[in-house]
């Protein structure tokens, strides 16, 4: 730097150089001389630099319109702004923010974007906003194709998010089928699609769980990893009808002690649903297995797995003995259902272990439980449930999968 052309510059002053000659750059010098070839310097090294093509110092930004279509932009905008379930919406909104921070507003990772689009389309289908299922199938297919085109050993968090979002999409479609009283073939197809994604996710977590945990925690935070594991666990009893599959998957989830016992606050709603759903699924299968009165290895395995879950619920303080929240509302009744599922599990486990005669009364009790109106049973002036009605309602709670977080929805019940 220098103050004027006549004075010595700072660099020359520090170096002790008295003759400070100041010159323009090559382009300015040639312009001042009115050269026909401005900027040309008769130096091989400089000429090589001048003649070589210039490489951009960073990636050129891509316009969002060139990356995704208008329909896809609308689907992303819809799912980003959806927030009608307070307990779960804060967790989903947190996940969206982390995905946007990592991959951009339009989700530049193709597989994750397809999974998110499939989930958004399925949510709109479930809510009656769009009755066309083709969008769910299209984005699910494109997400699966992106997974198939990648070597399994190279799978990472992107593939994990893709699988999880595809699971959530198929779960929303299955809920719609159940609520709309679709035919049995539709229910079976919906459950089959969900089962395929669940098996892939189970194999993925079992093979690369430790690596995924470290990478997800470092890039997205512990709360996102806890959400992924517990959200997967909440779908086990919904996706599977085979008893041994349920036992294997529930055992895998129950061993994820850090994600269950030390669960992040944002993932707690999904952990509670996972525990409640699994207890309800095991109770259902134990009841069905007790119909004939045989005490085989399968029934013993069910008893052991159910006992493990009930012990785990007690270890983390579920269900709560008292609820301070004002009585009434979907959240309050959802908590009541989870409490009743817990105690129904204890009752059924005790009966299964102690009784040697078959449960000949199960069908009658189940029929009575399913006849009860969805509205909570009336209570007397002492705010206590009538004893016989409470017993039946507890059994009904044990047959509902998943727990009734939203009493306006029709959830699948026992096939008795």
Q: What is the pLDDT of residues 177-198, one digit of tens each?
A: 887 878 888 888 888 899 999 9
What's the confidence (pLDDT) of residue 354?
67
To which residue do tokens 């193709």 refer? 110
Q: By percentage, how much of the chain surpasses pLDDT 90?
A: 26
Q: Are 113 and 106 in contact (CB under 8 A)?
A: yes
Helix axes 86-103, 268-289, angle to 10 degrees: 120
What is the rounded average pLDDT of the residues 279-287? 78
Q: By percentage, how much of the chain surpasses pLDDT 70?
A: 62
For residues 230 and 27, the model is more confident at 230
Mean pLDDT lowest among 116-120, 170-174, 315-319: 315-319
Q: Are 250 and 309 in contact (CB under 8 A)?
A: yes
pLDDT tier for residue 222 given thresholds of 50, 70 and 90: very high
In Å, what is the CA distance from 10 to each residue of 1, 4, 13, 19?
6, 11, 5, 12
In the predicted structure, residue 136 carries a pLDDT above the cut 70: yes
> Under 8 Å CB-to-CB from 301, ≥6 apart: which residues?
244, 247
pLDDT tier for residue 173 given thresholds of 50, 70 and 90: very high
To which residue do tokens 């110092």 refer? 57
Q: What is the dihedral of CA 112, 237, 276, 172, to 10 degrees?
A: 40
Query: What is the distance between the alpha carbons of residues 310 and 294, in angstroms, rounded to a whole number?
Result: 23
What's the confidence (pLDDT) of residue 324?
41
Query: What is the distance between the alpha carbons of residues 127 and 120, in angstroms, rounded to a whole number?
Result: 11
For residues 162 and 23, the model is more confident at 162
In the predicted structure, residue 261 carries a pLDDT above the cut 70: yes
What's the confidence (pLDDT) of residue 281?
79
Mean pLDDT lowest among 32-36, 314-318, 334-338, 339-343: 32-36
Report the chain's terminal Cα–Cα distance, integer Å: 89
**What integer best gives the mean pLDDT of the chain?**
74
Return phi, psi of residue 385, to 5°: -70, 140
Q: Are 117 and 72 in contact (CB under 8 A)?
A: yes
What is the rounded average pLDDT of the residues 64-86? 77
What's the confidence (pLDDT) of residue 349?
80
Q: What is the dihedral of CA 297, 302, 308, 313, to 10 degrees?
A: -170
What's the confidence (pLDDT) of residue 220?
94
Determine the 3-state secondary structure of 379 from DSSP. Answer: strand
Q: What is the pLDDT of residues 346-398, one digit of tens each?
A: 777 877 776 555 555 555 555 555 555 444 444 443 334 444 455 555 555 55
In the predicted structure, residue 81 carries a pLDDT above the cut 80: yes
For residues 211 and 39, the model is more confident at 211
């Amino acid at each position: 730097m220098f103050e004027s052309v006549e004075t010595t510059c700072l660099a020359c002053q520090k170096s002790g150089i008295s003759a400070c000659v100041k010159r323009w750059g090559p382009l300015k010098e040639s312009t001042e001389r009115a050269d026909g070839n401005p900027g040309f310097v008769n130096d091989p090294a400089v000429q090589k630099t001048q003649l070589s093509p210039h490489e951009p110092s960073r990636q050129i930004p891509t316009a969002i319109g060139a990356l995704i279509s208008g329909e896809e932009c609308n689907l992303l905008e819809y799912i980003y702004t959806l927030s009608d379930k307070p307990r779960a919406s804060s967790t989903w909104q947190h996940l969206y923010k982390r995905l946007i921070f990592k991959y951009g507003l339009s989700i530049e990772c193709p597989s994750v974007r397809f999974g998110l689009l499939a989930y958004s389309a399925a949510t709109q289908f479930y809510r009656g906003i769009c009755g066309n299922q083709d969008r769910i199938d299209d984005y699910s297919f494109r997400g699966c194709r992106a997974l198939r085109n990648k070597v399994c050993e190279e799978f990472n968090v992107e593939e994990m998010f893709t699988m999880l979002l595809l699971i959530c999409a198929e779960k929303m479609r299955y809920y719609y089928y159940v609520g709309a009283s679709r035919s049995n073939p539709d229910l079976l197809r919906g459950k089959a699609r969900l089962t395929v994604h669940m098996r892939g996710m189970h194999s993925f977590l079992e093979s690369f769980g430790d690596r995924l945990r470290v990478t997800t925690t470092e890039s997205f935070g512990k709360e996102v990893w806890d959400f992924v594991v517990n959200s997967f666990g909440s779908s086990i009893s919904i996706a599977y009808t085979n008893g041994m599959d349920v036992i294997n998957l529930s055992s895998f989830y129950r061993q994820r002690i850090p994600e269950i016992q030390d669960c992040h606050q944002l993932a707690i709603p999904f952990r509670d649903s996972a525990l409640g759903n699994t207890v309800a699924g095991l109770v259902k299968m134990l009841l069905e297995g007790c119909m004939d009165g045989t005490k085989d290895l399968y029934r013993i395995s069910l008893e052991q797995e159910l006992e493990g879950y009930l012990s785990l619920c007690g270890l983390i303080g579920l269900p709560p003995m008292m609820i301070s929240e004002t009585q009434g509302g979907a959240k309050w009744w959802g908590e009541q259902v989870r409490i009743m599922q817990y105690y129904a599990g204890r009752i059924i486990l005790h009966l299964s272990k102690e009784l040697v005669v078959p449960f000949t009364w199960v069908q009658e009790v189940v029929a009575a439980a399913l006849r009860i109106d969805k509205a909570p049973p009336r209570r007397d002036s002492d705010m206590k449930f009538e004893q016989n009605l409470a017993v039946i309602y507890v059994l009904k709670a044990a047959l509902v999968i998943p727990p009734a977080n939203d009493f306006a929805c029709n959830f699948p019940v026992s096939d008795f």
